[in-house]
Amino acid sequence: MDLLNTLVDKGLRRESPTREEALAVLATSDDELLDVVAAAGKVRRAWFGRRVKLNYLVNLKSGLCPEDCSYCSQRLGSKSEILKYTWLKPEQAAAAAGAGVAGGAKRVCLVASGRGPTDRDVDRVSKTIAAIKEEHQDVEICACLGLLSDGQAARLKDAGANAYNHNLNTSEATYGDITTTHTYADRVSTVQQAQAAGMSACSGLIAGMGESDEDLVDVVFSLRDLDPDSVPVNFLIPIEGTPLAGDWNLTPQRCLRILAMVRFVCPDVEVRLAGGREIHLRTLQPLALNLANSIFLGDYLTTEGQSGKDDLAMIADAGFEVEGTDTTTLPKHRADALAAAGSGCGGHGGEGGGCGPCGDAAPADAVPAQAAAGVTASTPAAAEGSHADLVAVRRRGAGTDLPPNA
């Protein structure tokens, strides 16, 4: 197929495809799907071999966000029955992070709901970073705290944060349909502030919110222009109690095409298979490892993920290997550029958001009774053809007395 040969050649040269070529990937048929995966897999292996980087989310505070992001269970007015708790203490966060590191995670993503951190919040997170680094000196730390104010990125960098995550989520043209309490430009500005401070930038998208192929290509090309080191690709988790609870627009085949398109547009970037992979890719998850070189281990912010041991088994069974702490994630040219900018990190999303949050400080609510009892709550089936039975609200790990999934 001439299109795929062209895209492979461009990917090996770090040359961007045209918009028309990117759209053509999304328009390929199911009969061509394995050819698309194989072609994008050549680009993935050229830059990242068969390594898979593991990342672990720690939700530092959860719920009652003042923002109105339609995909988010922590949003203003959310009726989702999620865990709600205020800031974890540094030692609690360090313990949660330790579970992920023990499971093989190379990076810990510290997430807090909120429009953006106060200076006091930055102090809290700085103490948490210190507590984690004291126990796990080599672990990468990515902070994800919402919109940044002047000087906050530099303070986080000085505290030991290697990276900062803030996702664009969708195209600029459709952003106002998803969120009204902040702008697309606000998000771009935060990514740029992180880069200016010398942190590795992580910024990605959410697919499945009713966007068109053109919207998907728009946001991925915008991400390429921003040049983050990591692009998490999230697939919307339609959580009961959110405006998008009934939006089941994805098939496993479409998810693979989206991942392939992202790989072709961002050939030498860490592409992370993020929120929603289990419920949308389902049994085709191993195929996605040919496209993405990074995944989250275990649970997400407010929903449960695949068990950590199943993640590790999937990676091994698919013929891939977990990336060690002694390996630099990014290709040399990107790692060298990042080091020159002042970050020692080798690279860097969340249900529908990678490690991207959305809220204000949550009250110290008690953990729901079902959490203490170890019960996992699943949402009822939504529209016909949905897989809502696969969406389980997180009732373990951070903010509970139950062991985390790692």
Classify residue 339 by its DSSP letter. H
Catalytic annotation present for 345: no
Catalytic annotation present for 282: no
In degrees and rounded to multiples of 5, residue 244 shows phi and psi of -100, 20
CA separation for the pair 183, 180 (Å, rounded): 7
Q: Extract the runs of DSSP E, i.e. beta strands, from 104-241.
A: 107-112, 140-144, 163-165, 200-202, 205-207, 230-235
**Active-site residue (options: 107, 257, 272, 396):** 272
**Active-site residue (options: 75, 107, 109, 124):** 109
Task: Tell me if 120 is assigned to a ligand binding site.
Answer: no
Task: Tell me if 355 is assigned to a ligand binding site.
Answer: no
Residue 326 token pair? 């002694």
C-beta of residue 357 within 8 angstroms of C-beta of residue 114? yes
**Active-site residue (options: 75, 144, 202, 255):** 202
Catalytic annotation present for 202: yes
Residue 101: name the closest of 138, 134, 127 by CA. Answer: 138
Catalytic annotation present for 72: yes
Task: Tell me if 345 is assigned to a ligand binding site.
Answer: no
CA separation for the pair 183, 193 (Å, rounded): 16
Coil vs helix vs strand at 374: coil
C-beta of residue 88 within 8 angstroms of C-beta of residue 36? no
Task: Tell me if 65 is assigned to a ligand binding site.
Answer: yes
Task: Tell me if 272 is assigned to a ligand binding site.
Answer: yes
Catalytic annotation present for 358: no
In degrees and rounded to multiples of 5, residue 368 shows phi and psi of -55, 150
CA separation for the pair 84, 330 (Å, rounded): 36
**Active-site residue (options: 142, 266, 355, 358):** 142
Classify residue 28 by its DSSP letter. -
- The strand pairing partners of 52, in sequence order, are 322
C-beta of residue 238 within 8 angstroms of C-beta of residue 278? no
Catalytic annotation present for 334: no
Residues contacting 392, CB < 8 A, separation 6+: 303, 304, 376, 377, 378
- The strand pairing partners of 111, in sequence order, are 59, 144
Residue 46: name the closest of 2, 15, 3, 18 by CA. Answer: 15
Task: Tell me if 69 is assigned to a ligand binding site.
Answer: yes
**Active-site residue (options: 44, 69, 263, 345):** 69
Catalytic annotation present for 272: yes
| Type of residue found at 99 | A
Active-site residue list = 65, 69, 72, 109, 142, 202, 272
Which positions make up the binding site? Answer: 65, 69, 72, 109, 142, 202, 272
Which positions make up the binding site for [4Fe-4S] cluster? Answer: 65, 69, 72
Which positions make up the binding site for [2Fe-2S] cluster? Answer: 109, 142, 202, 272
